[in-house]
Amino acid sequence: MQYFYILEFLYRKERMTSKDEISELKDEILELKTLLKQKEKRLKELINSSENCPYSTQLSCQEISRYSRHMLIPQIGMKGQIAMKQSSVLIIGLGGLGCPAALYLAAAGIGTITFVDYDEVEITNFNRQILHAEDNINVSKVESACDMLQANSNTLQNLFDKNKYDVVLDGSDNVATRYLLNDMCVLNQVPLVSGSALQMEGQLTVYNFEDGPCYRCLFPIPPPPDTVTNCGDGGVLGAVTGVIGALQALETIKILTKADNVMSGRLLIFDASSTTFLNVKLRKKQETCDVCGLKPKITQLIDYEQFCGSKAHDKVIDINILTEVENICVKELATLEKESVIIDVRPKIEYEICKLPNTINIPYTYFKDNKNSEDITKTLLSFRSKTSRVFFICRRGNDSQRTEASMLILSLLILHFPFTEKKTPEIEQDRDCL
């Protein structure tokens, strides 16, 4: 017996040792990375200061080599490259659109790029947000982007009061931010390069450029919040955001270099499933527009979350329809699993990704739309002899509550199940299952 104790002790000691070593190595690597960054920054400064070109007053030798492929294009030339060097671009959102756009704009030699993002890097970002490294999980996206592009990050306040931007690039993911950026750009007379992507589709246009329309000219009233699908729920293909983000960088470069045919007054619709681009003419700038019209009602920024009735981010808001006693945790559910019916109300596509054992899948939309009610009744009846307890589970804990609240399922359950403890079914909140 003593022998086993010794073995266990040794095993624990070994585990502790490797844990300590992991932690030590992480700290050491972080320290080395910081030192490396400082040295790379200094090296860059020294190279730049020693490489003034005797034959050009505006570009260094390194810049001439680096951007030579740009300057050979007749539409850009030396003049366009210098214009890019002297310009300042503001990128809002360092997600699927902002990341490729930032990479191309930094590589193109834009003088100053300012990033704005409230969020931190997380594992679900990596399929499309190509600027962020796995080492930067939980790091702010702005810091992560500056890290990758070897730039400096600072706290940014009152952006437009302190800076003059030539172009604003919108890579945000929500309606409230779109209205805010539109109004900010109209009030400061800055073009807004707008992009969006969802699932297999993307869109691109430029607002407030020369005599073109602004976002409000086309959408004077925000859409009802429940009609907007976000990437967190609908999904998005990384290559689609890559295409739109790169096109946003392209339109930005065209504006800065004063090229023709900027995407103003037109909307590009990209359908990745058929690899087709559709170019649609948009309505003209409206004289009655609230912000860019002849008699504007909006002369300063307003509360955009209140105006849109939705938050300025695409995170799902938790709802609380049920009381605390009507919810149970996963561990408790596991103990009751055998004598219960567990209905997973997620969409079929999510159920196929991963599922708890001994569950049946009836998507919430079936209850909501009163679809397949006969099938639902049959399924529930087949469990009649087995149990009196029914639990609903879902991805975020919202749809399971809505299902319970649905009068259809409630009436079905009351009709067909002899409840013993409660007269209403209980809900389990399986957060972050996916």
Task: By CB under 5 A, name the binding residues for Zn ion.
Answer: 214, 216-217, 289, 292
Instruction: Report how far residue 207's alpha carbon sits from residue 49's, in angstroms, rounded to the nearest whole number.
Output: 39
Q: Measured from the CB of residue 288, what is the shortest distance to Zn ion in angstroms?
A: 9
Question: Do residues 175 and 309 touch, judged by C-beta distance below 8 A?
Answer: no
Neighbouring C-alpha atoms within 13 Å toward the C-beta of 292 = 27
**Closest residue by beta carbon to Zn ion:** 289
Provide CB contacts within 8 A for 343, sequence distance 6+: 359, 360, 361, 362, 390, 391, 392, 393, 403
Question: Do residues 197 and 238 touch, judged by C-beta distance below 8 A?
Answer: no
Nearer to Zn ion (CB atom), residue 256 or residue 289? 289
Amino acid residing at 185: C
- The helix (H) or strand (E) run that includes residue 8 is helix 2-50
- The full DSSP string for 345-404 is -S-HHHHHH---TTEEE--HHHHHTT-SHHHHHHHHHHTTTT-SEEEEE-SSSSHHHHHH
- The helix (H) or strand (E) run that includes residue 328 is strand 327-328
Q: Measured from the CB of residue 285, what is the shortest distance to Zn ion in angstroms?
A: 6
Query: Which residues are bridge partners to 279 per DSSP?
Result: 268
Nearer to Zn ion (CB atom), residue 282 or residue 360? 282
Nearer to Zn ion (CB atom), residue 183 or residue 350? 183
Please give the backbone phi and psi of residue 16, each rounded to the nearest 5 degrees, phi first: -60, -40
Question: Do residues 75 and 152 touch, judged by C-beta distance below 8 A?
Answer: no
292 tagged catalytic: no
Point out the catalytic residue in the list 185, 231, 292, 308: 231
Structural tokens at position 308: 């849109």
Nearer to Zn ion (CB atom), residue 216 or residue 346? 216
Nearer to Zn ion (CB atom), residue 131 or residue 185? 185
Nearer to Zn ion (CB atom), residue 297 or residue 338? 297
Residues in the chain: 434
Q: Measured from the CB of residue 161, what is the shortest distance to Zn ion in angstroms?
A: 23
Q: Measured from the CB of residue 186, what is the shortest distance to Zn ion in angstroms?
A: 7
Structural tokens at position 421: 């403890």
Instruction: Report how far residue 250's alpha carbon sits from residue 70's, in angstroms, rounded to the nearest whole number.
Output: 12
CB atoms within 10 A of CB 395: 23
Nearer to Zn ion (CB atom), residue 253 or residue 292? 292
Provide CB contacts within 8 A for 86, sequence distance 6+: 111
Instruction: Report how far residue 317's alpha carbon sits from residue 398's, in angstroms, rounded to the nearest whole number.
Output: 9
Tracing tokens 């599922």 back to the chain, one arrives at: 355
Instruction: Please state whether beta strands 359-361 and 340-344 pair in parallel, antiparallel, or not at all (unpaired).
Output: parallel
146 tagged catalytic: no
CB atoms within 10 A of CB 209: 22
Tracing tokens 């109209």 back to the chain, one arrives at: 186
Instruction: Report how far residue 91's alpha carbon sits from residue 80's, in angstroms, rounded to the nearest whole number.
Output: 20
Nearer to Zn ion (CB atom), residue 101 or residue 217? 217
Which residues does the annotation mark as catalytic? 231, 394
